[in-house]
Each structure stands twice: as structure tokens, then as C-alpha cells.
Amino acid sequence: MRFTKDHEWVEVDGDIATVGITSYAAQQLGDVVFVDLPAAGKAVKAGEELAVVESVKAASDVYAPVSGEVVEANGEVAEAPETVNAMPEASGWFVKMKIADPAEVEALMDRPAYEAFLATL
């Protein structure tokens, strides 16, 4: 699993990347009440807006950690947004993407680096 400074995670299997938000992000957001996910087929560049996650208090953007095309949105978090709080780094994933450039994944933080980054916040 790789991580961004915006608290997204990405896990790659072949050329498919699963993307979600980290436990830290889910905890900071508080109770998630709605997740606005992109439709399959949407092409995004790394750093562009990918989804919107809504807590009781506010809406927050989720950015694409890597470039690619959305192939699947997680219907479970759309149906049961609380899944994002319960299991953010597992069944609370947001989308699966077909990645354009594997090197973009390599450039992201690994877990020790992300944890070191969290320690600076």
C-alpha cells in the first residue's frame, strides 16, 4: 500500500489500483454520511479531484493519487457510507482504477514514510 500527503491510499494489483482514504483521514473527517463517487470510465490525472466525502460537518475532496481510468466505484460505501469509518483501508475503498503509469505509484510514500509524515502533523 502507498500513501499521499492528502491521506489517500493506493494498492496495486497488476495494472489495477484500488484507492481509498486512510484511517487517519477517516478519523479526522468524523462520521461519513455520503460519498460521491465517479462513474466508471472517468479519466483522471494524479492530483485531480476523484471523489467527495461528506461528514456531518463538511464536504471534503478526495484526489486521485495516480493517473488512470476509473473501472469500478465501490457500491458498498455509496450504500453504507459508515463503512468508510469502520474499515477505511479495506472494504471502505472508493474506486478501482486502471493505472496509466506505474512509476507514479512508486513515487508515493510507503507506510513507514507515511507514518513519519503523520508524526509531523
Partner 1 sequence: MTDEALKTTPLTDAHVALGGKMVPFGGYSMPVQYPEGILKEHLWTRENAGAFDVSHMGPSFLELARKSGDGEADHRAIAAIMERLVCGDIRGLKPGQLRYTLLLNEDGGVIDDLMVGRPLRPDRQGMLYVIVNAGTKDGDFALIERAAGDAARLIRADDRALIAVQGPKAAEVVGQILPEALDLGFMQFRRIDRDGAGLVASRSGYTGEDGFEILVPAAQAAAFWNRLLADERVKPIGLGARDSLRLEAGLPLYGHDLDETTSPAEASLAFAVSKRRLRDQDFPGAARVAAELGGEIARRRIGLRVLGGPPAREGAEIANAAGDVVGKVTSGGFGPSVGGPIAMGYVPPAYAEPGGKMKVIVRGKPGEAEVVAMPFVPHRYFRKAQA
Tell me the closest approach of the beta carbon of residue 54 to partner 1, in angstroms: 6
Rounded-to-integer distance, Cα 92 and Cα 115, Å? 20
Say how far apart CA 98 and CA 45 lie, in whole Å: 12
* Complex with partner 1: residue 20 or 38, whichever CB lies closer: 38
Q: Alpha-carbon dihedral of residues 55, 56, 60, 65, nearest 10 degrees? A: 0
Kindly state the smallest distance separating residue 95's Cβ from partner 1, in Å: 17
Comparison of 25 and 99: residue with beta carbon closer to partner 1: 25
Binding site for partner 1 (CB under 8 A): 30-31, 33-34, 36, 52, 54-59
